[in-house]
Amino acid sequence: MSFTSSTQSVPAAGAIPRHIAVILDGNGRWATRRHLPRAAGHRKGVEAVRATVEGCARRGVEFLTLFAFSSENWRRPAEEVSLLMRLFLSALQREVTQLHRNGIRLRIVGDLSRFEPRLQKMIADAEARTAGNTRMTLTICANYGGRWDIMQATNALLRQRAAQGVPLDQPVAEDDLSRHLSLAYAPEPDLFIRTGGEQRISNFLLWQLAYTELYFCECFWPEFNDQRLEEAIQWYGQRERRFGRTSVQTRGGS
């Protein structure tokens, strides 16, 4: 299945976004406020992930994309990085069976080459096991960066064009590049949610967020729950997505 860019073809207006992309932020601050180690925030954050996955699947969201570890998060203290890796590994081990039972397809995108071989193997197995599921696609962005994605797509395109002997002066179209992006299987996100109070993209889906509605939530990620998801979706339902057109055109006028 392939999708055209939502910046080119306007998605049908509907209260439920087809694709929600989330920066789950604020685990550390949530813990620090409670005089707990940051690790406690990350553990609690896994529970909020579970609730969000279930809430989205129940509402008929087709794609949910979560930013779990950025290419810049390696800059954190080694101890925190290794805890995040262990949490990721154990969540994979624990949750895949339930995801599979719920008809959810799992994809992990990012530069996976930096992960230890055992984790890479588990990722490949989890993806293969859930590959036939169609209810919702859950994408976890791990060691992901928007710039990394655009660069890896560019390099893939260059290799392909060299192999096919495409003349260097033949222009590159948007589609030529976007089909090499790691989320090429999904439509562009309709709704972006960031918890934790910061209003920035932090090198998440730079290409794909071109026309996404941006929602910022003050709560820390461990506090995110079904009610907060509902509030974000309600807010989304009230947006008028114009994609460059006028308001009159958007409402069906000429």
Active site residues: 25, 73
Closest CA to 214 of 43, 65, 33, 21: 21
Choose the one of Mg ion, ligand IPE, none that binds residue 200, judging by a C-beta under 5 to 8 angstroms depending on kind: ligand IPE
Which residues belong to the annotated binding site?
Answer: 25-30, 38, 42, 70-72, 74, 76, 194, 200-202, 213
Site membership for ligand IPE, residue 115 (CB under 6 A): no
Does residue 198 belong to the site contacting ligand IPE (CB under 6 A)? yes
Alpha helices in the chain (DSSP H): 27-33, 38-59, 78-101, 117-130, 146-164, 174-178, 226-237, 247-250
Q: Is the Cα dihedral 105, 109, 113, 114 positive or negative?
A: negative
Please identify, among the stretches 121-129, 195-203, 233-241, 242-250, the one whose residues bind ligand IPE according to the rule CB under 6 A: 195-203
Q: Which residue is nearest to ligand IPE (CB)?
A: 28
Nearest distance, CB of residue 21 and ligand IPE, angstroms: 11
What are the residues facing 191 on neighbouring strands? 20, 213
Q: Which member of 17, 26, 55, 145 binds ligand IPE (CB under 6 A)?
A: 26
What count of residues does the chain have?
254
Cβ proximity to ligand IPE, 42 vs 105, nearer residue? 42
Q: 85: exposed, middle or buried (C-beta count within 10 Å: 0-12, 13-18, 19+)? A: middle
Interface with ligand IPE (CB under 6 A): 23-29, 67-70, 73, 84, 196, 198, 200, 202, 221
Binding residues for Mg ion, per CB under 5 A? 25
